[in-house]
Amino acid sequence: MCDMAFAGPGMIPASFASVPVPLDRQRLLARLVDRLPAIQPEADGVVSLTVALPPLPISSSPLHLPDIWSWTRPSDGLALIGLGTALQREFPGPAELATALRRLVWHHQNSDDGNGQPVAFLGHGFGGDDPSGLPGGLLRIPRLLLRHQPDGSEMIFSHAGNGDPDTIRQSWLDAADRLLLALQTPIPSLSENVLVRISENPQADVFKRRVRAVTSAIAAGRVEKVVLSRRVVVAGSRPFIPARLAAALIEQHPTCAIFTAAFGSRILVAASPERLVACQDRRVESYALAGTARCDSDDPFLGGRLLCSAKDRHEHRLVVGWIEEALSGLCETLDVPAEPRRMALGKLQHLWTPISGVLRPGATLLEAATRLHPTPAVAGLPLAAARALLDELGETRSGWYTGAMGWIDRSGDGELAVVLRCALLNGYLAELSAGGGIVAASQAEAEFAETELKLQTMLDALLVA
């Protein structure tokens, strides 16, 4: 079972260093040939088998393969890299995802030295139709999962439905060879990408009118907070390389959850600071992350001003109170710090309160995720009124922006992060989104500037992608 450190910013482990270390592919393949048996498939479900490996030198996710999904939290030393598909199901939204996972028949066995639980990736959008065309929700069990931690690595092989045992085993060995070969292949060195902004939705003047409409609705008592967003499409001077983007994000934001999802020619890449919910052995944690300011080494008092900002603290308290209420019915104990901390991420800093507790017997990670999404940090309060106002204003969310993505193992442990600081790559094109929480004290110009600052995090990374 994966260790899951519920901690703040930390150092990036040596295993995620930017310079690759040679990997003995032939020795690892020989180990797999020796330890990977032919299994009897189960017509009614999924069969998974875990094989232990020595620690592997992983520098980044090998995203030049077209069917990779991955999850990396470098400060925890955790990487999950999934190749191919044993089982994939699409759903209208997150509620159906939870139901499907409960009904899934999932058999698992270990080799003589493996003991790790198999893992499924899952994700969903904000809700409603996604203009990018991504499914509302998706569950994916990879054919091959590489789980890497500082003290060791495992390969977990999965198959769904009928099949010939020897053919299944050979397909697993072929997948392992592809993945190991890809891990050996260095990320190409290329010139800096030149970016051209080709579309914005909404335009600046429309966004500012929406901010004023929301503050008017707040003054009228209709809502307390509404989160507005903007979507920008940029074109590069050459095709974007997802592996280069992921590597840049790992280096720049090692405390974030950096994850990728492949949808044919399109690749979603994100570096999210916001943990929607994580669970290990009934211990659960969620982040309240609301209230934003820029970071500037020439102005050491910015952090203090953020902590003292009445507008930002009010916005933050709304999120903290909502998460506390959402989790209290599921938890035996709940720890809610009285004061927020600062989370610094590159050019941005946020007010941050990690809320943790112990789930009641029978309560689950996905039950908590369903209660928590969407939080006021990405939607508003009251939730129904905020979403109704977003619909009236014509706001749409694309490319799973402000949805959630993560992983869950067969025992029910796992983590989901809110899809933020993200780019949906498609050849020369990249779609980015950013937003901000509008409260009574919000000013249209300042809110627009905040979205530009948030977009810049990904724009900077795209220059080297």
Going by C-alpha positions, the residue among 248, 211, 214 that lies closest to residue 230 is 211
Which tokens sit at 377? 């940090």
Whether the CB-CB separation of 51 and 172 falls below 8 Å is answered with: no
Catalytic residue flag (residue 225): yes
Task: Single out the residue of 73, 2, 12 nearest to residue 273, CA to CA.
Answer: 73
Burial of 160 (0-12, 13-18, 19+ CB in 10 A): buried
Q: Alpha-carbon distance 438 to 441, whole Å?
A: 8
442: Cα separation from own chain's centroid: 28
Q: Identify which of 273, 246, 243, 276 has the alpha carbon closest to the alpha carbon of residue 257.
A: 273
Q: Which residue has the tokens 């890497």?
A: 148
Query: What are the structure tokens assigned to 78, written together?
Result: 């955790």
Phi, psi (rounded to 5 degrees) for 143:
-60, -40
The answer to whether the CB of 152 falls within 8 A of the CB of 55 is yes
* SS3 label, residue 357: strand
Q: In angstroms, rounded to a whole number, what is the distance separating the alpha carbons of residues 453 and 456?
A: 5
- Active-site residue identified among 96, 154, 192, 225: 225
Catalytic, 96? Answer no
What CA–CA distance (Å, rounded) separates 235 from 143? 33
Do β-strands 144-149 and 78-83 pair in parallel, antiparallel, or remain unpaired? antiparallel
Contact status, residue 106 vs residue 156, Cβ threshold 8 Å: no
Backbone φ, ψ for residue 405 (5° rounding): -145, 150
Cα gap 204→445, rounded to integer Å: 9
Q: Which of 234, 69, 72, 74 is nearest to 140 (CA)?
A: 69
List Cβ neighbours of 123 (8 Å cut-off, separation of 6 or more): 137, 138, 261, 400, 403, 404, 405, 406, 419
Q: Are 18 and 77 in contact (CB under 8 A)?
A: no
Please name the residue that has the structure tokens 């902590």: 307
β-sheet bridge partners, residue 109: 49
Select which of 154, 192, 224, 274 is catalytic: 274
Q: Which residues are catalytic?
A: 225, 274
